[in-house]
Chain A
Amino acid sequence: MIQQVFSWLFDGAHWHGTDGIPARVLQHIGYCAVVLVIGAIIAVPIGAWIAHRGRGGWIITVINSLRAVPSLGLLLIVTLWLQSKIQSTSVFSISSIIVLVVLAIPPLLAGAYSGVSEVDPAARDAARGMGMTGAQVFGRVELPCALPLMFSGLRSATLQVVATTTIAATVGIGGLGRYLIDGLAQSNYPEMAAGAICVALLALLADLLLAAVQRMVVSPGLTGRVSRSRHTERPGDDEAMKEQISEPVRSATP
């Protein structure tokens, strides 16, 4: 079985044309990128603004509870509803993008909100004391300090979008999900498994890429502070946290 999957993967016929692996990968990335950009444009300003003002936290709670809605159900309902409104094949792309954006918003919003609201109040006060205006405090202190948590929100949103774009192939859009859905329809198991492996690899690469960008973008001075919070994703920092936690224990036992 594993051999069949690999021979499907390395079959030259599956590497060019509109339904070849490179074309499907590009489609998949295209959908995900559009969705994440739209989602970030909507969610990040709202989350950061709510946290900056310190009021309206209930909005975050309400949007978080949307996570209980099964994404497959939402996708199929929106598609069916749009189909009764618009007579066009672009219905599938539109409904997929709407649902994927809805899916991407909770983690992005939560990341932006908790990032800004967990900024050390002392840093905020110091910035004010230095004569910064509200907008300057927001732009130069709160946002840079919020970056690590914003990135962890972005990373979990990316994973969810990459995974759910696969499912969106059910309603007829392109991308790597096609191999799973078409393979399923024809009981072509090697094709399904090969598609599954491609999606898993893509998700993994996307996460690694974002982790690398996060390392470059986040100010190194911040990582020491943030490593004490439970939300960081960086394994290296966890060691530092462990050090700090075990410190009192070690000094107490000679």
Chain B
Amino acid sequence: MFSFIQANLGGILSRAGQHAWLAGAPLVLGLLIAMPLGWLANRVPWLRSVLIGGSGLLYTIPSLALFVIMPLILGTGILDPINVIIAMTIYTVALLVRTVADALAVVPSETEQAAVAMGYPPVRRFFAVDLPLAVPVIASGLRVAAVSNVSIVSVAALLGIPQLGYYITDGYSNTYWAEMWTGVLGCVLLALIFDAVIIALTWLLTPWRRAVAA
């Protein structure tokens, strides 16, 4: 396996980069979309069941099916990586709307009232008080989404979209073990890196938790 990696290092790194992009960009996009939706779900009771039930339904669509249906809806070519980005964004939103709503729901009402009493207007209160306190719960949902995104993106290799999954399918068709292991372990490693980055960001964003612990 090491000789395979040595001989193909350039290709592996560029495919890993594409993999990270296909799994990572939807993570950021999905979070940006899920945030206002989760906020709405937490604010408006009847919207809560609609939004959380609806986003749950999106997750029921199998990944390979979604990659194939996407060009039909978008009018893009089947090999276009944009299909994968949008499909993965849908999955991320599906996972995160519920997490964001739950995370905002557990912010203590005393804290919110204190912020209101201190004269925080609604928007500033959301960004300065509610959102930071919701970070740990949102981050735990984001970690699940990150790991599953990295794993699902490898399926796009069946359609011929370049990323680490290519080594899995190509190694299989040539019965080349070293190549397959490179693909699988590459995916696992990438998932671990994503996980570590989210943990580090959470640590940076929640200084008060360390203060309590110390």
Could you tell me which A residues sit within 8 Å of B by CB distance? 1-2, 5, 67-74, 76-77, 79-80, 159, 162-164, 166-167, 170, 177, 180-181, 184, 189, 192-193, 195-197, 199-200, 203-204, 207, 230, 233, 235-236, 238-239, 241-243, 245, 248-249, 252
Total contacting residues, chain B, CB less than 8 A: 50
Could you tell me which B residues sit within 8 Å of A by CB distance? 45-46, 48-50, 52-53, 56-57, 59-66, 68-69, 72, 78, 102, 105, 109, 112-113, 147-148, 150-151, 154-155, 157-159, 165, 168-169, 171-172, 175, 177, 180-181, 183-184, 187-188, 191-192
CB–CB A69/B188 < 8 A = yes
CB–CB A73/B183 < 8 A = yes
CB–CB A71/B151 < 8 A = yes
CB–CB B72/A1 < 8 A = yes
Cα A227 to Cα B181 in complex, Å, equals 44
CB–CB A200/B53 < 8 A = no
Determine the main DSSP class of A at the interface with B: helix
CB–CB B61/A203 < 8 A = yes
CB–CB B188/A193 < 8 A = no
Q: A72-B169, A245-B105 are in contact. Are A181 and B158 (CB under 8 A)?
A: yes
Cα A96 to Cα B63 in complex, Å, equals 17
List of A residues within 8 angstroms of B147 by Cβ: 67-68
List of B residues within 8 angstroms of A79 by Cβ: 172
Q: A67-B147, A242-B48 are in contact. Are A72 and B157 (CB under 8 A)?
A: yes
List of B residues within 8 angstroms of A167 by Cβ: 63-64, 155, 158
CB–CB B69/A72 < 8 A = no
Smallest CB gap from A76: residue in B: B172
